[in-house]
Structure formats: structure tokens, C-alpha cells
């Protein structure tokens, strides 16, 4: 165990693999793959693969959705971000959990009643337009790939932690291969069971270690009390609560515990550092707090609306038997994930007191691994075995986290390729067997691309990347679903324009920030001035963008968190274009709206299908 602690102090020293950590992680992988094989024999039809036969009970489905949703970002990223940036990072877990409320209030029930396989199915069914299906498919892939990148980073980080010396990309490749195999074997039905199991594993893995740890080293609020606020003269370090000295890189107590800290002021801080005159510095200081407020609201909109527009979550609502079950499932999901989300910040807070050395490291060895690191502290307190076992359990939880979310993403993206592109566009006359085969090949292709992308993002924070996937979903799918379900006057052109412009502009502005951030992170590693100059000369675009951010911090904030304008833009365009093309409202709009909103007891859904029998049905 001590070897692991030493590993932190001297990263280059030869390291040993902790047998307990390796053991627990291996068990998780073996059980996951085993369950995949076991259910593979039971998944036969296309329905089983795409929507698990539409017969999953509320309890199973709620556990499975929660298991799929609690990703590497939730398990490791939230704790790491709370530790790194403090109070503002709390918005992530809160909005991840509470975003489901919008889904419940406006989308879950009607969407399930409409009875399509996937979101592109819904898009086509609601507007009778095959073109629109193609646009919707593209967004499944955009959002999906943005969301897989942080999962891959979680995989790389965790494996590099368990097997010190293993390069980051190796973890990405190993985990990508295992999951791709699993999904192509069992499809949706296979992963429903696996994910339900993984939810409970994750809750166990996040709660048990922190309860034991808190009993030994002190509780959540005791460690929080050690951080002094701006109003307090000195920190009240309670007796028995240890607090290690913070390194220079760590944010100060006052900024960390209070709202509008490092996370939201980063852009303005960079400009202040670059400002040359005292007047320029002073004027930037005066806008710092209002800009922070803007950042906070934009983040909240991205996370709350984004949750209601994540394709891999939405596809799960089709596995409910009916609309009422879909609503009940959503409520249980909120309770299950809410319980989970109380705990990751606890790791961040205690980590700040006890493992401040993580502030000095970057990439896979930085604050993102505080959840894995913290339990090993027990080793230094005469509980060596317990520390190893608990660290093994949190590693197993981390494995479950990125494995389950990646499986879910893989299913929804493979479905989009196999069901929507192959089955509906390329070969509409293909047999179910051919589509199943297409599903397996799609899984393989998506898995390969995800591994390729994942190996490029070591420099970016897990949680930050997930937030960006949410922002794209918030500006594309959320307005589409919300407006399609509740407004009779929507036309296909309105929906498509709003979704394309909103989603693509969010995607573009986010890509700009990510590209320049990755370049800046690489540049920071170059110590030599000549090398640095050569590096920037090779990357003139990234340099231009980075310089522009420094000169225009407001533009940087609006590009980093685009939801506040992109969601409004998307909904506004949908409204205006639909009004302009009101002649093309689908003629049977009243029937479609009835199907979306009337209780199933009336049996209107069957009538809808009958009317459309001649057209191929749904």
C-alpha cells in the first residue's frame, strides 16, 4: 500500500500493482462480461436488441437508467471538480439529478405513448419526413461521441491508476474493446440487466468507503468547516480533523467555498493576468462577478435542458410498457441518482483537506482521481488492509461507471446506425437477421471511433467534457422534443432549422474552446521558449483563438457555456420558421397530438397505427 502513496510522491519510481484493487476491478469486468454472455442467449429479436422487448418493469428500468446515467463524470469527475474548483462545481451533480424533472414534466410520458423505437423514429413519425430522420440521426452521433470521450478518459485514468506505468491510451483501448464485445453480444436487453446491477454497485462503491473513511478521518461538514469563508477571521479546524497544507496551485479557501469561484471566473482571470494597464485590470475586475453569474445560469440551462435531450437516456423510455410507467420510472430515477449525487462532493471536500498534493498533478494523475485515492489514506492510519479493500471497491465502482455509460451510448449510437441508417435508409427491405448483423457491425465501428477520440482528450477535465455534451443536447434535442410534444403549429422545416442551427452553433463554439484548451495544455508542458514558439507557429489557429479569448473574456464564457443563447436561438427559430411555413403542418396533426397526450386507456394508439398501415407503420 505504501508503494501507492510513494507513487504519488515520485511518479517515475517503479510501482507495484495493489492486489486488492486489481481483484475488485477484475471482478466487475468479469461479472459485466459474464452477464452480457448470459443474456446474449436470451436476446433474439430486433426488439430485444433495440428496446429490450418494451417490457422492462419500473424498478428494473429505473435502476438501469440510473446505472447508465451515472457515468465516469458522476463517479470521478464531480468529486474531482468539487475539489479543484469548490462550490460552483456543486451545480453539476444537482443539475444532473434535477434535470430529470424537466424530462418528467414535459417529455417522458408523451414520448413513450408515441411508440417509436428511437428519437429519429419520433422525428420522422411526428413530421412524416424521412429527411428529418437523417438530421436527427446525425445528432445522436454528435452527442454520443462527445459523451463517450469523457468516459474513455475515465477508463484511461482508472487503469493507469490500477496498473501504474500503463500508458493512458492502453486503458482506453482495453475498456473500449471489452464493452464493444459486450454490446454486440447482448444489445439492449443484455445491457438492461447489466446496468441495473451496476447502479447498485456504484451506490455501494461510493457510499461504503466514504462512511468508513469519515468515521476515521472526520465528517463532511467537519472538513468543510476547516475552509474559512471571506467573513471569518480564521479557519476553525476542529479537534481531530487533520488538514494538510495546500500547495500554491490550489485555490484559496475564501474563493473555494464561496460561489463564483475559479470555475466561473477562469476566463476573466486569464484576461486580468494578461492586462497591461491598471485601468484595464480594474475594469475587468468590475465585470468579473456579473460574468460569473452569467456563466452559472448558462451552465444550469445546459445541464437541466441537456438531461432532457440525451439520446441514450431517452431511448430507455421506450423500454417502459406505457406512459404512466414512464413517468413513475422517471421519479424513481430522480430518487436513485439523487441519493448517489450527495456523496461525490464529500470526496472532493475531504480530498481537499487530506490529499492536496493532487492539485499539483495534471491529466490522469490530477484531482479527477481523488475518489480512487482517498480510501488509501486509511493505510497510513493502521488500517492497511481496509484501505486497500475500500480503494478496490471505489475502483470497481469507477469501472462500473464508465462501462455502463459507454455501453448505453454504444447501444444508442449503434441503433442509430443499424436501425435508422441501414434499416430505414440504405436497405429498407433488409431482413431482421441482416439488421441484427448490421447492429453488431455498427457497434464495432462506433467502438473503434470512440477509442480513437478518447485517446486524444487526456488534457481535458472529465466533468467539463460531459457538460459540453449536455450543452449540445440542450440546444438540439430538448427544443425539438419540447416543442414537438406541446405545440401543434410546429412544422418539419421549423423543427429542422431550429435543431440544426441551435445544435451546430453550440457544437461549433464548444469545439473552438476544446481545441484551443487542448493546444494550450500541450503548450504548457513545453518548458523551452524556442520550442514553445515553434509549437505556436505550427498551430496558428489555436494560437489566434487563445489570444482572442484573452482579449474577449465574455465571448469565451458564451462559447464555453453556449446554452444560454443556443437554447433560446433554437426555440426562437423553431417558432419563427414554423409560423412562416404554417401551410406544411402535417394534416393529421390532431391525431398525432391525441396519441401523444391521450391516456392509453382510450386505446387511441391502435387507431393511429391502423390509419398508417398503408404507409409502413411504426
Partner 1 sequence: MREPPPSPVDAHSDAFLTRLMRDQLKLSIACALCFAVALVALPLMNYFQPEFMAQRVFGFTLTWLILGVLFFPFVWIISFVFIQRSIALENAEAKAAQDGQSK
In 3D space, the residue among 618, 580, 216 whose CA is nearest the CA of residue 420 turns out to be 618
Q: How far is the CB of 591 from partner 1 (least distance, A)?
A: 8
Contacts of partner 1 in 469-488 (CB under 8 A): 486
Distance of closest approach, residue 400 Cβ to partner 1, in angstroms: 22
Site string for partner 1, 541-580 (x = CB under 8 A): ----------------------------------------
* Residue closer to partner 1, measured from CB, 174 or 593: 593
Task: Confirm or reject binding of residue 335 to partner 1 (CB under 8 A).
Answer: yes
Closest CA to 180 of 421, 441, 399, 398: 441
Q: Judged by CB under 8 A, which stretch of 25-33, 65-73, 135-143, 215-223 contacts partner 1?
A: 215-223
Min dist CB 489 to partner 1, Å, is: 12
Give the integer Cα–Cα distance in Å for 493 and 582: 10
Q: Interface with partner 1 by CB under 8 A: which range of 15-23, 227-235, 450-458, 580-588?
A: 227-235
- For residues 612 and 608, give the distance between their C-alpha atoms in angstroms, rounded to a whole number: 7
Q: 468 is written with which cell numbers?
A: 459540453
Q: Residue 179 or residue 350: which is nearer to partner 1 going by CB?
A: 350
- Separation of alpha carbons 58 and 68, rounded Å: 15
Note whether 224 binds partner 1 by CB under 8 A: yes
Q: Which is nearer to partner 1, 330 or 404 (CB)?
A: 330
With respect to partner 1, which residue has the nearer C-beta, 94 or 550?
Answer: 94
Single out the residue of 17, 181, 214, 331 in contact with partner 1 (rule: CB under 8 A): 331
Residue 185: other Cβ atoms inside 10 A: 19
- For 428, counting Cβ atoms within 10 Å of its Cβ (0-12 exposed, 13-18 middle, 19+ buried), the class is exposed
Nearest Cα to Cα of residue 136 among 121, 150, 157:
121
- What is the smallest separation between the CB atom of 484 and partner 1, expressed in angstroms? 13
In the region spanning residues 282 to 311, those forming contacts with partner 1, defined by CB under 8 A, are 289, 293, 296-297, 300, 304
User: Which is closer to partner 1, CB of 127 or CB of 291?
Assistant: 291
Contact call for residues 518 and 460 (beta carbons, < 8 A): yes
Instruction: Say whether residue 260 binds partner 1 (CB under 8 A).
Output: yes
Closest distance of CB 323 from partner 1, Å: 8
According to CB under 8 A, which one of 2, 3, 221, 606 is a site residue for partner 1?
Answer: 221
433 and 165 Cβ atoms separated by less than 8 Å: no
Write down the least CB distance from residue 262 to partner 1, Å: 15
Nearest CA-CA partner of 148 in 347, 402, 425, 377: 402
Q: Contacting partner 1 (CB under 8 A), which of 231, 276, 277, 286? A: 231
Please, what is the minimum distance in Å from the beta carbon of residue 112 to partner 1?
Answer: 13
SS (H, E, C) 396-462: HHHHHHHHHHHHHHHHHHHHHHHHHHHHHHHCCCCCHHHHHHHHHHHHHHHHHHHHHHHCCCCCCCH
Which residue, 259 or 452, is less far from partner 1 as judged by CB? 259
Number of other residues whose CB lies within 10 A of the CB of residue 106: 16
State the Cα–Cα distance between residues 533 and 529, nearest whole angstrom: 6
Q: How far is the CB of 415 from partner 1 (least distance, A)?
A: 28
Q: Which of 47, 53, 259, 572 touches partner 1 (CB under 8 A)?
A: 259
Contact of 493 with 192, CB cutoff 8 Å:
no
| Residue 241 phi, psi dihedral angles, 5° rounding | -100, 115
CB 509 within 8 A of CB 565: no
Contact call for residue 275 and partner 1 (CB under 8 A): no
Alpha-carbon span 191 to 195, nearest angstrom: 6
How far apart are CB 104 and partner 1 at their closest, in Å?
6
Q: Does 230 bind partner 1 (CB under 8 A)?
A: yes
- Please state, in angstroms and rounded to a whole number, the distance separating the CA atoms of residues 464 and 472: 13
* Gap between the Cα atoms of 398 and 404, Å rounded: 10
**Stretch of 149-157, 216-224, 387-395, 455-463 contacting partner 1, by CB under 8 A:** 216-224
String of contacts with partner 1 for each residue 84-123, x by CB under 8 A: ---x--xx-xx--xx-xxx-xxx--x--------------
Q: Which of 53, 338, 452, 586 binds partner 1 (CB under 8 A)?
A: 338
Binding track over 126-155 against partner 1, x by CB under 8 A = ------------------------------
From 76, 149, 225, 469, residue interacting with partner 1 (rule: CB under 8 A): 225
Q: What per-residue string of b and e applies to 187-226 under the rule 16 or more CB within 10 Å gives b? A: bbbbbbbbbbbbbebbbebbbbbbebbeeebbbbebbebb
**Which residue in this structure is represented by grid cell 463532511?**
220
Nearer to partner 1, 191 or 596 (CB): 596
Smallest gap, in angstroms, from Cβ of residue 417 to partner 1? 34
Euclidean distance between the first and final Cα of the chain, in Å? 58
Angle (CA) 121-126-130 rounded to 5° is 55
- Binding partner 1 by CB under 8 A: which of 36, 209, 345, 503? 345
How far is the C-alpha of 8 from the C-alpha of 532, rounded, in Å? Answer: 28
Q: What mask of x and - would describe binding to partner 1 in positions 161 to 200, judged by CB under 8 A?
A: ----------------------------------------
CA quadruple 161, 166, 168, 174: dihedral positive or negative? negative
Residue ranges in 587-606 that form contacts with partner 1 under rule CB under 8 A: 590, 593-594, 597-599, 601-602, 604
Closest by CA position to 353, among listed 271, 456, 246: 246
Q: Whose Cβ is closer to partner 1: residue 196's or residue 485's? A: 485
Q: What angle do CA 137, 143, 149 make, to 5 degrees?
A: 135
Where on the chain is the footprint of partner 1 (CB under 8 A)? 87, 90-91, 93-94, 97-98, 100-102, 104-106, 109, 220-222, 224-225, 229-231, 257-260, 289, 293, 296-297, 300, 304, 324, 327-328, 330-331, 334-335, 338-339, 341-342, 345, 486, 590, 593-594, 597-599, 601-602, 604
Amino acid at each position: 500500500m505504501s508503494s501507492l502513496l510513494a507513487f504519488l510522491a515520485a511518479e517515475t519510481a517503479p510501482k507495484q500493482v495493489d492486489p486488492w484493487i486489481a481483484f475488485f476491478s477484475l471482478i466487475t469486468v468479469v461479472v459485466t462480461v459474464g452477464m452480457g454472455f448470459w443474456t446474449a442467449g436470451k436476446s433474439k429479436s430486433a426488439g430485444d436488441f433495440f428496446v429490450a422487448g418494451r417490457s422492462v418493469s419500473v424498478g428494473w428500468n429505473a435502476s438501469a437508467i440510473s446505472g447508465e446515467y451515472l457515468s465516469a463524470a458522476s463517479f470521478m469527475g464531480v468529486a474531482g471538480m468539487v475539489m479543484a474548483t469548490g462550490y460552483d462545481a456543486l451545480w453539476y451533480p444537482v443539475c444532473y439529478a434535477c434535470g430529470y424533472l424537466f424530462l418528467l414534466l414535459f417529455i417522458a410520458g408523451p414520448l413513450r405513448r408515441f411508440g417509436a423505437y428511437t428519437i429519429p423514429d419520433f422525428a420522422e413519425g411526428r413530421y412524416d419526413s424521412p429527411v428529418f430522420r437523417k438530421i436527427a440521426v446525425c445528432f445522436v452521433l454528435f452527442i454520443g461521441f462527445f459523451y463517450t470521450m469523457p468516459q474513455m478518459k475515465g477508463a484511461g485514468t482508472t487503469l493507469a491508476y490500477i496498473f501504474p506505468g500503463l500508458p493512458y491510451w492502453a486503458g482506453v483501448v482495453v475498456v473500449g474493446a471489452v464493452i464493444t464485445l459486450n454490446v454486440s453480444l447482448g444489445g439492449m436487453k443484455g445491457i438492461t440487466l447489466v446496468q441495473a446491477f451496476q447502479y447498485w454497485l456504484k451506490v455501494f462503491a461510493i457510499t461504503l468507503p466514504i462512511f468508513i473513511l469519515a468515521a476515521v478521518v472526520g465528517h463532511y461538514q467537519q472538513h468543510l468547516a476547516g475552509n474559512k469563508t471571506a467573513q471569518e477571521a480564521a479557519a476553525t479546524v476542529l479537534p481531530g480533523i487533520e488538514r494538510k497544507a495546500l500547495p500554491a496551485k490550489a485555490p484559496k479557501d475564501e474563493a473555494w467555498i464561496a460561489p463564483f469561484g475559479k470555475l466561473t471566473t477562469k476566463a476573466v482571470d486569464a484576461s486580468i493576468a494578461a492586462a497591461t494597464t491598471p485601468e484595464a485590470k480594474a475594469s475587468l475586475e468590475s465585470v468579473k462577478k456579473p460574468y460569473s453569474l452569467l456563466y452559472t445560469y448558462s451552465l444550469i440551462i445546459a445541464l437541466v435542458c441537456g438531461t432532457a435531450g440525451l439520446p441514450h437516456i431517452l431511448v430507455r423510455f421506450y423500454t417502459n410498457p406505457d406512459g404512466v410507467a414512464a413517468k413513475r420510472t422517471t421519479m424513481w430515477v430522480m430518487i436513485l441518482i439523487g441519493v448517489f449525487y450527495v456523496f461525490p462532493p464529500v470526496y472532493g471536500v475531504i480530498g481537499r483537506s487530506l490529499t492536496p498534493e493532487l492539485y499539483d498533478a495534471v491529466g490522469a494523475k490530477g484531482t479527477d482521481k481523488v475518489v480512487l485515492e482517498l480510501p488509501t489514506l486509511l493505510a497510513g492510519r493502521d488500517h492497511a488492509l481496509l484501505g486497500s479493500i475500500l480503494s478496490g471497491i471505489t475502483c470497481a465502482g469507477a469501472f462500473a461507471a464508465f462501462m455502463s455509460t459507454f455501453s448505453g451510448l454504444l447501444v444508442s449510437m449503434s441503433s442509430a446506425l443499424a436501425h435508422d441508417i441501414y434499416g430505414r435508409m440504405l436497405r429498407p427491405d433488409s431482413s431482421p437477421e441482416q439488421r441484427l448483423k448490421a447492429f453488431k457491425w455498427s457497434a464495432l465501428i462506433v467502438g473503434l471511433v470512440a477509442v480513437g477520440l478518447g485517446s486524444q482528450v487526456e488534457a481535458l477535465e472529465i466533468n467539463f467534457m460531459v457538460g459540453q455534451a449536455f450543452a449540445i443536447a440542450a440546444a438540439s434535442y430538448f427544443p425539438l422534443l419540447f416543442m414537438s410534444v406541446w405545440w401543434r403549429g410546429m412544422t418539419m422545416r421549423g423543427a429542422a432549422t431550429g435543431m440544426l442551427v441551435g445544435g451546430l452553433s453550440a457544437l461549433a463554439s464548444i469545439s473552438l474552446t476544446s481545441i484551443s484548451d487542448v493546444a494550450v495544455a500541450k503548450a504548457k508542458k513545453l518548458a523551452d521558449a524556442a520550442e514553445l514558439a515553434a509549437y505556436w507557429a505550427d498551430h496558428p489557429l489555436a494560437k489566434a483563438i487563445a489570444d482572442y479569448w484573452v482579449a474577449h473574456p465574455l465571448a469565451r464564457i458564451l462559447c464555453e457555456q453556449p446554452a444560454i443563447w443556443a437554447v433560446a436561438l433554437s426555440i426562437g427559430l423553431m417558432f419563427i420558421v414554423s409560423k412562416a411555413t404554417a401551410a406544411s403542418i402535417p394534416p393529421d396533426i390532431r391525431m398525432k397530438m391525441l396519441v401523444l397526450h391521450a391516456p392509453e386507456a382510450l386505446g387511441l394508439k391502435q387507431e393511429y397505427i391502423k390509419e398508417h398501415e398503408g404507409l409502413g407503420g411504426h
